[in-house]
Structure 1
């Protein structure tokens, strides 16, 4: 018994050293934090940081800052930066890159401009110490990005330019750090700049030219190995972080750029994206936030008035500088108050980059202990301020977005309770069909995607119904991986077309998505047989799809629209679906149509506030349809907007075009839309 007690005493000796016990304690905090959060109405990030203070070496001393804690902390920080780059709407980022540059300039130069004279004249530090400390004010860590991500406002323009500005200002600060260190050590010469420039050029080339090509090959070759996709992504993130370090900048820059490099290959509603966000938000990011709290030494408050004065001054300058940067950004771009507060909340948190700058300066003897201690207090204060500001502003911004969306739904007669039906014909290719449906589904609709199998009404009907149901169950797990709800239906009918039409009416479907007919010999009369009966049997907007490669590897949507298509009832629906698909895949849209239809599309896009990059080419000679082949690119998704017989936009030539698509563009992904 005594021996057992000794073992027990040893295991619980502070600080805890047993890795299983340490990990269990941190997991317990991550588990309990949301419960405490709900009861106290405090943002979860603050709870995690305060928990880190309590259990850390400067609190109760339960844990020490060791290599294991540092490892998980680093992973969490890299994960935050990676997700920020991955969730960035690249179409919007490209359209607003000048705004990101300007915000990056504001959030760098304003804190630096305020901080330097305060440190140099008010706190009486020398040039190097004042400039290094002032540059620290310009950095910010996206501590509160998980808040905007969780509230689904990460694609707002204000968030996009803040994330883009982060990479610019942090890179500038880290270059300033390298320059000051070079000046301090006397190594700031032409060779320094040459070495830095070459290493950054090589790093950028690897990340933006080599990595996307390797990723595309991997996702295509290993299309069915879904779990290996996640491991591949993690590998890219950490290799990119390491290469950034070799290039002379912080690993967080590499992680962010890895997110940008893989952005287009990981659709935002995909199962892979869901896995990345789930693991990060459940484990790595909370671990990082707890480790930030473990860095805070609250005893510096009692170490004398100088420490308090320095800490208070640094915190005030840090908050003021970021507020002014967000204020001038709001004035320049005419943003709302909620957008200004989101920008301020996201950019006012100081943690990793700030600490990295100050510790390097402290170890080199450039700054003293007062600045170091004041920075630790600054991290705590700005973390709380940033969290509260982001939580309130993001909640308000979400309400504004939902209000605008609700008004848009009423104005455009959009399908707020949209239902998508997927009739199943070929079980082998159905996974791509389901993935496509998940991507284009209206995210505000609570209705599940309906998968349907029509069984002939014969003596074996009951057995066939059971078999069909068992097969369809496999696709429920595929949808669950992307957090998409799916319902399965197996029905009996004498005719497949009539069975689909009847079920579409029963569930009030808005959109039916079919796979491309695969029977040989059918293509010369593609819509003249089975598919024609199915299309003619229902009056729902129908998509007939074929994807020759993984959806994420496409680079453009190539749409062909007939005259008078704007007069069809399904015009707004298919236009919105093309926009959603373009956003999910981060690709531009190229539309071929006549002048009247072009104006109608432009007017509708403006009304819907759609900012997807769209290029137009005038086209009206449908008898010479194949001439469009010269403008198609290898990785296009060809979308033909067709028409049903008897509709206003129907013309006889449309019935022959699907066969031409099959014959001349058989290796391309293609969609035929029947409004």
Structure 2
């Protein structure tokens, strides 16, 4: 009676049973410390047609099973660290050779000598052991070590070994069918070349265009697009005479750089695969097993044992020999073995094709299935154990390499700008710390506060949904304060924020940020790492990150943390990095990168003159909108600060309006050196550099006259006076820098002096500057010698800028009528 009801045909009930197994089986076996993958395979054996007969391995099961296998290969291509793969591609070739050659040799000897097969049979039999399926890759992925060099080497070697195995299959089938003529091979080669061109060259360009114009966090278009690319690529691979898994892997490679690991899209792809398609594949593998055959035929048992011993021994040798040559750790070699010993897709394809053309019989089919099951057990166990040890080792290493807290604050005023700001936070966050993202909406005190708070919650809602969809912790923050700067500063203190990400509102000028001219106040009132972003297209389609490094930035406090942020972002989007800077700075960065062992494609451009950086940037970018420009900048008073650097974000933003731009300000030290010196009533060094004869008060309001008067106090030669004065007057009229309220700085280099000279001009009624709305009452001039090291000049600029941020100095300059008054006021 029961036999008439089995196998179950109701599609709803079939799906319910499979999903129930997907839920329960891993939970049960993990209680026994057995990997969940094994539980799904065992469940497949139990419910399969050869045991209880509960379910048939019909077309529906095979369809979902095939989808699951393609999904595994797609994910492995999507998650592979392309930068590490390019850097260590020789590792993949070495391992690929051994993992193909050793098992092939073992299989050929076993079949030819013991099973008395013919040479064509033995060749095809040997190829069964050469390929492997990354069946246990989900264990690696869920542990977060998919970018480990041993995993990257295994994935690269898998493609090589599986491709060679498929090539052997094509040769044997072509020979057996009489099709192995010259035209047959020309066709195969041409189709493979066309496949590579379409998937690896054309698909990335189409994908970049698609994500730029149609990407949305509120739809599933991105996900559907990825599925289309996956299956079209797999089908094209089939047309080229290769297994569809090769096309699926290539599809993952093609989309790799456009789907960051911490993105919503990656989370969706993993969720669907791990909860639906991959479990179907594992269950279907178990459904192939017929345990009754082993009871009836002793020869079958011997064949199965022989095949299991061959696959385990040969893959073990290939893994550990490769690990020894490549100087991998013991556990990394074990992980390679755990990943590569698993047999499934390519092996099944080859044995079934061999069966169809009459080279293999039922015993080889049954022995292969038994080998698949045994290899899955061995692979899952070894992968699980090695992943545990490597994960613990990574945690120990990361403790010395990360900061105690890394909390990101994102002030948001409009929901339409929150998407890309949140995306950047996902890319730069250190997931090992598992700190939440803090999107914040600020409500100013006044009328209708409740309504504005409610509006703020609506604006923050999309940001919260976006973070939750990407499986990233998020804490929305609403603050009520008298102004934006106070609100941000209070949030920083209360939430222990380490990094702030804000948006540029206007493409033309950095001063017109979404909070107006308060940017300078924010920079001076905070010490945290600050990212000013102008994102005009999805950041995940950027192929290259161009990092501009000002002179002496390597000495800036907080530079290492800022570099790690940008390197993390580059790694997430698999982008190349191009550094631009002067020789000393580039050498320091190279040393830092060598210590960090960065697995990114990096190039350098050394400038002879820092001020040529814009011309160099034009030549480097050449209207390439896929370049992300990152400018390392500096706050007032820091050693790197420079008037040219202060204006640089404006210029870059106006010149490259089609490019994504980030200006990053590294964090600063907590204490202010100048404030400390004032508390100790000591004379600031920069003040000591101003000689009394070069400081003049109550000068003419005419800028030209005042500058000439100042220069003539130090130089007697009229030609030199005219030369220097003309240069400084030009700067004063075209590019004056207001370094503090009412105070302007002019600076330049001349070979007349052997050391730096500092001049001061004061007019309490104000100089006739046309560039400023407020009164300019003081002019500082710094002239450096051409032979002077650039860091000395930069230090003087930074020290002076830091000095005039102090309200005491400003008040002293306003009240004093002579340089002696200034000195006495400082000392008293």
Tell me the TM-score normalised to structure 2 length: 0.78
Three-state SS of the structure 1 residue aligned to 2:415 is coil
Q: CA deviation at 1:467?
A: 2.0
Of the three residues 159, 164, 170, the one matched with 1:172 is: 164
Partner of 1:22: 14
Three-state SS of the structure 2 residue aligned to 1:202 is helix
Of the three residues 570, 574, 587, the one matched with 1:586 is: 574
Q: CA deviation at 1:620?
A: 5.4
Q: Using a 3 Å threshold, how does the CA distance of structure 1 residues 559 and 76 change in structure 2: closer, same or farther?
A: same
Computing the radius of gyration from Cα coordinates, the structure with the larger value is 2
- Are 2:234 and 1:245 equivalent residues in the alignment? no
Q: Any conservation in 2 of the 1:527–1:655 contact (CA below 8 Å)? A: no
Alignment of 1:369-408 (within 5 A): 369-408=362-401
- Are 2:268 and 1:279 equivalent residues in the alignment? no
Alignment of 1:185-334 (within 5 A): 185-224=177-216, 226-334=219-327
Q: CA deviation at 1:341?
A: 0.6
Three-state SS of the structure 1 residue aligned to 2:416 is coil
Cα separation, 2, equivalents of 1:666 and 1:155? 34
Deviates more, 1:596-605 or 1:237-246: 596-605
Three-state SS of the structure 2 residue aligned to 1:615 is strand
Three-state SS of the structure 1 residue aligned to 2:325 is helix
Of the three residues 603, 619, 622, the one matched with 1:630 is: 619
Q: Deviations over 1:7-40 (max 9, x none)?
A: xx79980111111111111111011123213322
Cα separation, 2, equivalents of 1:86 and 1:590? 24
Alignment of 1:489-638 (within 5 A): 489-518=477-506, 529-619=517-607, 621-627=609-615, 628-632=617-621, 633-638=624-629
Partner of 1:431: 419
Cα separation, 1, equivalents of 2:221 and 2:507? 33
Cα separation, 2, equivalents of 1:293 and 1:219? 39
Of the three residues 341, 353, 360, the one matched with 1:348 is: 341
Of the three residues 96, 104, 107, the one matched with 2:96 is: 104
Partner of 1:458: 446
Three-state SS of the structure 1 residue aligned to 2:220 is helix
Q: CA deviation at 1:446?
A: 2.6
Q: Any conservation in 2 of the 1:525–1:659 contact (CA below 8 Å)? A: no
- Are 2:659 and 1:671 equivalent residues in the alignment? no
Partner of 2:115: 123
Cα separation, 1, equivalents of 2:513 and 2:295? 86
Cα separation, 2, equivalents of 1:276 and 1:108? 31
Three-state SS of the structure 1 residue aligned to 2:628 is strand
Three-state SS of the structure 1 residue aligned to 2:20 is helix
Q: CA deviation at 1:219?
A: 1.2
Q: Which has the higher contact order (CA 8 A, sep 6+)?
A: 1
Of the three residues 399, 410, 413, the one matched with 1:422 is: 410
Partner of 1:63: 55
Q: CA deviation at 1:666?
A: 1.5
Q: Using a 3 Å threshold, how does the CA distance of structure 1 residues 425 and 622 change in structure 2: closer, same or farther?
A: farther
Of the three residues 629, 641, 646, the one matched with 1:650 is: 641
In structure 2, stretches of 5+ residues that fail to align are 667-828
Q: CA deviation at 1:433?
A: 0.6
Of the three residues 473, 478, 482, the one matched with 2:461 is: 473
Cα separation, 2, equivalents of 1:34 and 1:398? 21
Q: Using a 3 Å threshold, how does the CA distance of structure 1 residues 520 and 150 change in structure 2: closer, same or farther?
A: closer
Q: Using a 3 Å threshold, how does the CA distance of structure 1 residues 525 and 26 change in structure 2: closer, same or farther?
A: closer
Runs of 4+ in 1 over 4 A off after TM superposition: 9-12, 519-528
Q: CA deviation at 1:606?
A: 2.8
Three-state SS of the structure 1 residue aligned to 2:140 is helix
Deviates more, 1:458-467 or 1:139-148: 458-467
Partner of 1:52: 44
In structure 1, stretches of 5+ residues that fail to align are 1-8, 409-413
Cα separation, 2, equivalents of 1:571 and 1:426? 31
Cα separation, 2, equivalents of 1:594 and 1:394? 43
Three-state SS of the structure 2 residue aligned to 1:486 is coil
Q: CA deviation at 1:668?
A: 1.1
Deviates more, 1:607-616 or 1:352-361: 607-616
Q: Any conservation in 1 of the 2:581–2:610 contact (CA below 8 Å)? A: no
Cα separation, 2, equivalents of 1:491 and 1:642? 29
Partner of 2:139: 147
Cα separation, 2, equivalents of 1:518 and 1:396? 50
What is the RMSD computed on CA atoms of the aligned residues? Answer: 1.8
Three-state SS of the structure 2 residue aligned to 1:671 is strand
Q: CA deviation at 1:499?
A: 1.5
Three-state SS of the structure 1 residue aligned to 2:51 is coil
Q: CA deviation at 1:423?
A: 1.0
Three-state SS of the structure 1 residue aligned to 2:24 is helix
Cα separation, 1, equivalents of 2:603 and 2:430? 24
Partner of 1:89: 81
Q: Which has the higher helix share?
A: 1
Of the three residues 144, 148, 152, the one matched with 1:156 is: 148
